[in-house]
Amino acid sequence: MNVTGHTRRPASIRDVATAAGVSYQTVSRVINDHPSVKQSTRERVLAAIDELGFRRNASALALASGRSRAVTVLTANTTHYGYASILQGIEEAARAASYAVGIGVLESADEAAVAAEVERAADAGGGLIVIAYDPAGVRALGAVPAELPVVGVVETPAGPPGGDRPWVWTDDREAGYEATRHLLSLGHETVHHVAIPSSTRRTSARTAGWQQALREAGAPEPRPVQGRWGPAGGHAAGLGLAADPAVTAILCGNDDLAVGVLRALHECGRSVPGDVSIAGFDDAPHSAYLTPSLTTVRLDFTGLGRAAFALLHGVVEESAQIAPHPVSVPALVVRESSGPPPVRP
Partner DNA sequence: GCGCCTTGTGTGACCGGTCACATTCATGCC
Partner DNA sequence: GGCATGAATGTGACCGGTCACACAAGGCGC
- Interface residue list for a second copy (CB under 8 A): 1-2, 7, 9-10, 53, 55-60, 62-63, 66, 68, 72, 78-79, 81, 84-85, 87-88, 91-92, 95, 98, 100-105, 107, 117, 120, 122-125, 145-147, 164, 230-232, 234-235, 256, 259-260, 262-263, 266, 285-286, 288-291, 293
CB closer to DNA out of 8 and 202: 8
Q: Residues 213, 201: contact at Cβ < 8 Å? A: no
Cα dihedral angle (251, 256, 257, 260), rounded to 10 degrees?
A: 120
Q: Nearest distance from residue 220's CB to a second copy, in Å?
A: 29
Q: For residue 214, count other CB atoms closer than 10 A to its CB.
A: 22
CA distance 303 to 86: 8
Q: How far is the CB of 128 from DNA (least distance, A)?
A: 18
For residue 58, give the H/E element and its range: helix 58-65
Residue 79 interacting partner from DNA, a second copy, none (CB closer than 5 to 8 Å by kind) = a second copy
- Shortest distance, CB of residue 291 to DNA, whole angstroms? 57
331-333 sheet: strands from edge to edge: 225-226, 192-195, 249-252, 277-282, 295-298, 331-333
The DSSP secondary structure of 256-310, one letter per residue, reads HHHHHHHHHHHHTT--TTTT-EEEEEE--TTGGGSSSPPEEEE--HHHHHHHHHH
CB closer to a second copy out of 266 and 298: 266
Given the complex with DNA, which of 40 and 79 has the nearer CB atom? Answer: 40
Count of Cβ atoms closer than 10 Å to residue 101 Cβ: 18
Contact call for residues 26 and 37 (beta carbons, < 8 A): yes
Q: Which is nearer to a second copy, 106 or 186 (CB)?
A: 106
Binding mask 18-37 for DNA (x = CB under 7 A): ----xxxxx-xx-xx-xxxx
Closest to DNA by CB, 32 or 79: 32
Contact residues for DNA (CB under 7 A)? 9-10, 12-14, 22-26, 28-29, 31-32, 34-38, 40-42, 54-57, 60-61, 63-65
